[in-house]
Structure 1
Amino acid sequence: MQDHIERQLQEPISLHDLAVAAGYSPWHSARIFKELTGKTPFEYIRALRLSRAAARLRNGGARIIDVALDFVFESHEGFTRAFSRQFGMSPLNYARNKPPLKMFMPPGARDYYLTLQTGDTEMATNDMNMDTVFVQVVERPARKLLLKRGKKATHYFEYCEEVGCDVWETLSGIKDALYEPMGMWLPENLRPADTSAYAQGVEVPLDYTGQVPEGFDIVELPPCKMMVFQGQPYDDEKFEQAIGDLWAVMKRYNPETYGFRWADEDAPRFQLAPEGYRGYIEGRPVRELNKK
């Protein structure tokens, strides 16, 4: 049913169509769909169409009425009402200002069943529960990265064993920082020989002339785009589950759906300190598909 919706998203879709695709009765198809996705077929199709429409408006160059008709809305007015209910703003306001939106991320029923076959029921349940995340693409200017490297660390806990856990305090004291400190996975072009894939650092202005703490490096980063994922709020003691949930979403996320491709060579992939009140946040560099 999800595959049929994806193929026919810009065409009318009825419950009968989904029942034929599933091979069940309409009633049974609708019940299974709601059980596995948390939405009725109508709610799911509407949320997915509106998110794809928002992506089209964000990329620019499309008239609102054309986007509305392409995604099977009968009128400009009907599309505007539905868009405003979904995102809290009109499509015109969004097209002009392009603020971050909480896009709908379809849960992967196929992945869920494949995971069940491995016997990992807890992972499958977590994966299906996280059906929406906050996704936005942000611009990063040319800047410098102040960081402390490890030797072999590939993740946070290995890094703490190698380098210690006091790096964050030093990074938080950098007065000219552009953003908050971050853990990061460095691309090959930013890794000297015999240094770790994972490091911690903070970004500073390109003209930064402040102190570089002992044992730290500073490198220049070119302008880039980052696709930032933000999970749902969680209890602080469940931070590992929150990270795993978001990683599951990112693993199956296809940026090409929204006009981008992964560009890991452009910048480090980063994670911010897990804070339950805001949800786990991670970013990965992207480029627009129509640009080299």
Structure 2
Amino acid sequence: MNQVEAIRAVQKMQDYIEDHIYEEITLKQLSKAAGYSSWHSARIFKEITGRTPFDYIRALRLTRAALVLRDEERKIIDVALDFVFDSHEGFTRAFAKEFGLPPKRYSQNTPPIQLFMPARVFDTFRALHNGGMKMSEKKATKTVFVQIIERPARKVLLKRGIKATEYFGYCEEVGCDVWSMLSSVKEAMYEPIGMWLPKDLIKSGTSQYVQGVELPLAYNNAVPPGYDLIDLPPCMMMIFQGEPYNDDDFMEAIGEVWEHIEKFDPNIYGYHWAPEAAPRFQLAPMGYRGYIEARPVVSQSMGSTQRQDK
């Protein structure tokens, strides 16, 4: 079995788990989905994901259960049974072991926790072996939609790297599971984002590229160890959104939007680039909506006023 065959087999097991997360799942069922023996399927699954199949299934079920407890008013025993736990006690022990606090306390306070949000292994493999952001052959120009949005004064909970200037370098420095912590924050104003910080927000010895989630100014919940909570002023952002794409082609889709932005003149909308006014940010690439990235801007009239004041 070569590496690609192993990756594909594990991907099939991941897909089976996703489709049957509310049901009992046996190693025999997973091995049938993978097309190999039970022993071999379990071995390659742990080699590639870092977890045994049943550790993986339990962590995924606990994460889904945590999101239910965060967002809905449900009895703990009902949530436990939904996710194939036999008892309240067993679910409580497993939840506390995974997240560091019992489910009842979590449902009452909903502090940020480290969710388990595994990537599809074949997507990760393909991205790494395509050389990060390397573009493929030139394709026909596609439409990029542009709009202006206003962001209010807000806080942002973020995790800094060391020297990273882009996503792949950031993952090498801090790991690729920051998103799962950010996604657990109940008070989030918007979805988590990858950000390129302006100079005045970069701490000495830390990265330009970070990941974070924007929160109301009144946010006063826990700040996880290793994270920062900082204030951001109101700003205007120019949003660029590419056309929907096949998820397999996400790197090409990002590259197309970047190429468009480099050639784009914001003056046609009556704005100037304002790279120090706010973090530039990107949303998680999702093919159905197209790649989305935002750059800070100021109106031409505001920019003129600021220049006169200096």
TM-score range, shorter chain: 0.5 to 0.7
Q: Could you tell me which residue of structure 1 aligns to residue 202 of structure 2?
A: 191
Structure 1, gaps ≥5 residues long: 1-120
What CA distance in whole angstroms lies between the structure 1 residues aligned with 2:141 and 2:165? Answer: 28
Q: How many residues align?
A: 170
1:129 partner amino acid: T
Report the Cα offset of residue 204 of structure 1. Answer: 0.2
One of 152, 155, 165 as aligned partner of 2:166: 155
Instruction: Give matches, 1:218-257, under 5 Å.
Output: 218-257=229-268
**Partner of 1:179: helix, strand, or coil?**
coil
1:213 partner amino acid: P
Instruction: Label 1:237 to 1:122 Cα distance change in 2 as closer, same or farther (>3 A).
Output: closer
Work out the percentage of aligned pairs sharing the same amino acid.
Answer: 59
Instruction: Give matches, 1:1-292, under 5 Å.
Output: 125-126=138-139, 128-130=140-142, 132-291=143-302, 292=306
Q: Could you tell me which residue of structure 2 aligns to residue 100 of structure 1?
A: none
What is the CA deviation profile of residues 157-179 of structure 1, one whole-angstrom value per residue up to 9, with x for unaligned ones?
A: 11001000110000000000000
What CA distance in whole angstroms lies between the structure 2 residues aligned with 1:143 and 1:184? Answer: 15
Instruction: Label 1:289 to 1:201 Cα distance change in 2 as closer, same or farther (>3 A).
Output: same
Structure 2, gaps ≥5 residues long: 1-134
CA contact (8 A) 2:136 2:252 kept: no
Report the Cα offset of residue 210 of structure 1. Answer: 1.0
Q: Could you tell me which residue of structure 2 aligns to residue 89 of structure 1?
A: none
What CA distance in whole angstroms lies between the structure 2 residues aligned with 1:134 and 1:146? Answer: 28
Report the Cα offset of residue 122 of structure 1. Answer: 5.9
1:193 partner amino acid: S
Report the Cα offset of residue 257 of structure 1. Answer: 1.0
**Partner of 1:202: helix, strand, or coil?**
strand
**Partner of 2:301: helix, strand, or coil?**
coil
What CA distance in whole angstroms lies between the structure 1 residues aligned with 2:164 and 2:276? Answer: 19
1:246 partner amino acid: V
RMSD over equivalenced CA pairs, Å: 1.6
2:191 partner amino acid: E
Return structure 1 stretches of 4+ with deviation > 3 angstroms: none
What CA distance in whole angstroms lies between the structure 2 residues aligned with 1:136 and 1:210? Answer: 33
CA contact (8 A) 2:247 2:287 kept: yes
What is the CA deviation profile of residues 30-65 of structure 1, one whole-angstrom value per residue up to 9, with x for unaligned ones?
A: xxxxxxxxxxxxxxxxxxxxxxxxxxxxxxxxxxxx
What CA distance in whole angstroms lies between the structure 2 residues aligned with 1:241 and 1:258? Answer: 27
CA contact (8 A) 2:154 2:231 kept: yes
What CA distance in whole angstroms lies between the structure 2 residues aligned with 1:224 and 1:194? Answer: 26
2:263 partner amino acid: R
- TM-score, normalised with respect to structure 2: 0.53
What CA distance in whole angstroms lies between the structure 2 residues aligned with 1:275 and 1:208? Answer: 28
Report the Cα offset of residue 212 of structure 1. Answer: 0.8
What CA distance in whole angstroms lies between the structure 2 residues aligned with 1:135 and 1:166? Answer: 30
CA contact (8 A) 2:158 2:227 kept: yes
